[in-house]
Amino acid sequence: MTRSLEGKVAVITGAGSGIGRGIALRLAEDKAAIAVWDLNPEGAAETVKQIEAAGGKALAVVADCSDKAAIKAAADETRAKLGPITILVNNAGIAPFTPFMDVDDDEFDKVIRINLRGPWLVTKEIVPDMLAAKWGRIINITSSSTQSGSFAQTHYVASKGGLLGLTKALALELGKTGITANMIPPGSIDTPMLRGAPIDPEAYGASLPVGRLGQVADIAAAAAFLASEEASYMTGQTISTNGGRYMGSA
């Protein structure tokens, strides 16, 4: 099912690859104009090319989404070329695997800077557009590891747990403004990040209740719902799109 986001502008961070690209293509199909923010110029350009080939509207913006000045410049360029931003998907992230005792301060700080401080800064930059429009959608891509833990990823799980807390606190504070904040914790989605992880992807997928790895379209479908008008009574919530890896309520 497609839902019309016609006239709306969506920023998707890390949309030059994997899950972010999948969400960008899906929201473009639903008629939003898409700002593809990514560190990687080739990846961002490829996402824009795919959106345009499908008849959508998109803009590539090369930006480090953990850098305050770069975020401000990216938002200004997006507003100038596409208009005010009322949909934000905080998706950019890194996921190193390092045993707890081997994580040094610099690695810990880098993971927190990109996975938690970045979304906090990007959200702060964009929420004024949503307040002005009296409508907004914040969708944070967390991780199923916040629900189950993840071996050799203490810093990563801590960063995504922080993003979970940020989402709920935003939902509470912005609840009466027409802005919702929700999260999707993916589990085992077939992307370059997953393929770089120290696991056997096929064996892992086969071990899940649904018997397969997830595809980016699985996450994109959940994001399209959360971005839509139909999701206006959902805020501070979690759509666990994980093939049954975790079945709890958190």
Residues forming the site for ligand NAP (CB under 6 A) = 13-14, 16-20, 38-40, 43, 64-66, 91-95, 114, 118, 141, 143-144, 186-189, 191-194
Indicate the residue among 56 and 185 with the shorter CB distance to ligand NAP. 185
- 3-state percent breakdown (helix, strand, coil) of the chain, nearest 5: 50, 15, 35
Calculate the alpha carbon distances from 32 to 10, 21, 44, 96 in Å: 6, 14, 17, 32
Q: CB of residue 26 vs ligand NAP: minimum separation in angstroms?
A: 14
Say what angle helices 154-174 and 118-133 make with each other, to 10 degrees. Answer: 20
For residue 15 the two structure tokens come to: 């949309």
Indicate the residue among 38 and 55 with the shorter CB distance to ligand NAP. 38
Indicate the residue among 86 and 242 with the shorter CB distance to ligand NAP. 242
- 156 assigned to active site: yes
Cβ 62 vs Cβ 44: under 8 Å: yes
Tell me the one-letter amino acid at 191: T
Q: How far apart are CA 174 and CA 183, in angstroms?
A: 15
Strand ranges (E), the chain: 9-13, 33-38, 58-62, 87-90, 136-141, 179-184
For residue 232 the two structure tokens come to: 């206006």
Indicate which residue of 156, 204, 233, 246 is catalytic: 156
Q: CB of residue 229 vs ligand NAP: minimum separation in angstroms?
A: 25
- Please give the torsion angle defined by the CA atoms of residues 67, 72, 74 and 75, in that order, rounded to the nearest 10 degrees: 140
Q: CB of residue 118 vs ligand NAP: minimum separation in angstroms?
A: 6
Query: For 186, which DSSP code?
Result: -
Indicate the residue among 30 and 38 with the shorter CB distance to ligand NAP. 38
In angstroms and rounded to an integer, the radius of gyration of the C-alpha atoms of the chain is: 17
Indicate the residue among 182 and 191 with the shorter CB distance to ligand NAP. 191
Residues with Cβ within 8 Å of 61's Cβ and at least 6 positions away in sequence, in order, are 35, 36, 37, 38, 44, 74, 77, 78
Indicate the residue among 70 and 133 with the shorter CB distance to ligand NAP. 70
Catalytic positions, written as ranges: 156
